[in-house]
Amino acid sequence: MKCLVLLSGGIDSTTCLALGVKKYGPSELLAVTAYYGQKHAKELQAARNVAAYYGVAHREIDVSQAFTLSDCPLLAGRKGAIAHTSYSDQLAAKGGAGTLDTYVPFRNGLFLSFAAALAVSVHASCIYYGAHADDAAGRAYPDCTPEFEQAMATAIYEGSGKTCRLEAPLLQWNKAQVVRQGLQLQAPYHLTWSCYEGREKPCGLCGTCRDRAAAFAANGVPDPAL
Amino acid sequence: MKCLVLLSGGIDSTTCLALGVKKYGPSELLAVTAYYGQKHAKELQAARNVAAYYGVAHREIDVSQAFTLSDCPLLAGRKGAIAHTSYSDQLAAKGGAGTLDTYVPFRNGLFLSFAAALAVSVHASCIYYGAHADDAAGRAYPDCTPEFEQAMATAIYEGSGKTCRLEAPLLQWNKAQVVRQGLQLQAPYHLTWSCYEGREKPCGLCGTCRDRAAAFAANGVPDPAL
């Protein structure tokens, strides 16, 4: 295996996988999807479908034990409601910057560490993940900031004995540009799931639904998953 | 909770817990022990006993999924033998430096990330772990080097929204000095387990048994667990 790809089943990680398939070919990739105790399994099924579409080896991991003490409303059984406004409106309500309620404690650090353990085990020389330019906006999620990501990249490189690098191939693009790249690569966006809610159809109202809709609108195409 | 302590059940982490108890008191600590698929459960039982001795809240996590693709001989079901020589002899056999066979891929990164997720959930402002001055010797374990540890400390601080710091209170001491501190604190070394093998008694031959014996000998006291 040459590259491990973190695959959540949304459009960013699916675009990441499309780039990995183009660069390395499907047989050199291992896609990894994490269950972290989220309220629904829609995105897990989406990840399975995307990996199967490309014929890429796929593993699921369960890191939900790490979050049993958290009250984040994305997690199953928590009472807090998921905000039905855009990220920018949520940030504005916090004075323009601050950690959003949908921050799952150190979730990305845990995903990346799990990925590193698996990547080193299969002698992969890189880990792809779907961070992009919008992620750090307003510092809404501390585990999406450049400072965090650079530190994790160093930790993975050093902690793997300099055998494995963390790479964020979408990092220079905003979400609309990510979708533009994915459309060019014919990424299977019809199989993806982004919504924080777990209903039959995406709610269209949560921050991630609004972000996704804006990215397709910016490219002048309908969302193929709707 | 003020502080999360990673507790493996060996003498380093037990000394770390003793320092935490002294500084914060037992009711402000959460001890966390990881099962990673190791060949035996001796150290898990030791960790339970040490946490109970101090009356500290204790959680066990299972991160073994991360290592199902690894062939490290510390892991259950793997065929490779655990070396019965000292670390320094093992390093000498590799020309003085290099990754030992008992490196579990990115294990410490995963432990620290799990600890960070739990620490942020309980609003702890620090994580104690038992790294000490001998750990980086010969760079035997890439996830014990200063470069790795500093990067993880930055990742945890940034990724927690600057609410949680990683601290290694033993870092300035070698193993003999760690034991000296622990003896002064009356750490319950009689309850600890270090051996890589899982027999009724420690083997006395593996790298960690030899290290431990040397540390007690340097302090002129018998090992109370023998």
Pick the more confident residue, A41 or A219: A219
Residue B27 domain-assigned (yes or no): yes
Share of chain A above pLDDT 70, in %: 100
Q: Collect all residues with Cβ–Cβ distance below 8 Å to A114 and sequence separation of at least 6.
A: A32, A34, A61, A63, B63, B65, B66, B110, B113
A78-91 mean pLDDT: 78
The per-residue pLDDT of chain A, averaged, comes to: 91
* In contact, B102 and B83? CB cutoff 8 Å: yes
pLDDT at B30: 98
pLDDT at B138: 64
Exposure letters B8-30 (e unless 16+ CB within 10 A, then b): bbbbbbbbbbbbbbeebeeeebb
Residues of B in Cβ contact (< 8 Å) with A117: 66-67, 70, 105-107, 109-110
CATH of the domain at B94: 3.40.50.620
Backbone CA torsion sign across B3, B4, B7, B13? negative
A146 in contact with chain B, both atoms CB, cutoff 8 A: no
Amino acid type, A156: I
Residue B223 domain-assigned (yes or no): no
Residue B119 domain-assigned (yes or no): yes
Name the band, by pLDDT with cuts 50, 70 and 90, for residue A183. very high
Mean pLDDT per 10-residue interval, chain B, length 226 residues: 96 97 98 90 94 98 92 83 78 77 91 96 96 78 90 97 95 94 97 86 85 94 90
CA–CA gap between residue B64 and residue B201 (Å, rounded): 25
Amino acid type, A168: A
Count Cα neighbours of B29 within 13 Å in the Cβ-side half-sphere: 24
Name the band, by pLDDT with cuts 50, 70 and 90, for residue A137. confident
CA–CA gap between residue B77 and residue B37 (Å, rounded): 9
* In contact, A74 and A104? CB cutoff 8 Å: yes
Contact A65 B65 (CB under 8 A): no
Name the band, by pLDDT with cuts 50, 70 and 90, for residue A197. confident
Residue B226 domain-assigned (yes or no): no
A104-111 mean pLDDT: 94
Residues of A in Cβ contact (< 8 Å) with B106: 113, 116-117, 120, 156, 159-160
Cβ burial, residue B200 (10 Å; 0-12/13-18/19+): exposed
Residue A224 domain-assigned (yes or no): no
Total structural domains within chain A: 1
Residue A156 domain-assigned (yes or no): yes
B155 in contact with chain A, both atoms CB, cutoff 8 A: yes
Residue A166 domain-assigned (yes or no): yes
Residues of B in Cβ contact (< 8 Å) with A107: 117
pLDDT at A49: 98
Pick the more confident residue, A92 or A11: A11
pLDDT at A5: 98
pLDDT at A195: 85
pLDDT greater than 70 at residue A138: no
pLDDT at A26: 98
Q: Collect all residues with Cβ–Cβ distance below 8 Å to B150 and sequence separation of at least 6.
A: none
- Nearest neighbour of A148 by CB, restricted to B112, B117, B159: B159
Residues of A in Cβ contact (< 8 Å) with B166: none
CA–CA gap between residue B134 and residue B132 (Å, rounded): 6
Domain with B170, as residue range(s), is 3-218
A25 in contact with chain B, both atoms CB, cutoff 8 A: no
Place of tokens 């200063």: B146
Contact B110 A116 (CB under 8 A): yes
Cβ burial, residue A101 (10 Å; 0-12/13-18/19+): middle
Name the band, by pLDDT with cuts 50, 70 and 90, for residue A127. very high
A45-57 mean pLDDT: 98
pTM: 0.92
pLDDT at A80: 75
pLDDT at B9: 94
**Complex ipTM:** 0.91
Residue B225 domain-assigned (yes or no): no
> Could you tell me where the DSSP H helices lie in chain B?
11-24, 42-54, 87-93, 107-121, 146-159, 175-184, 207-218
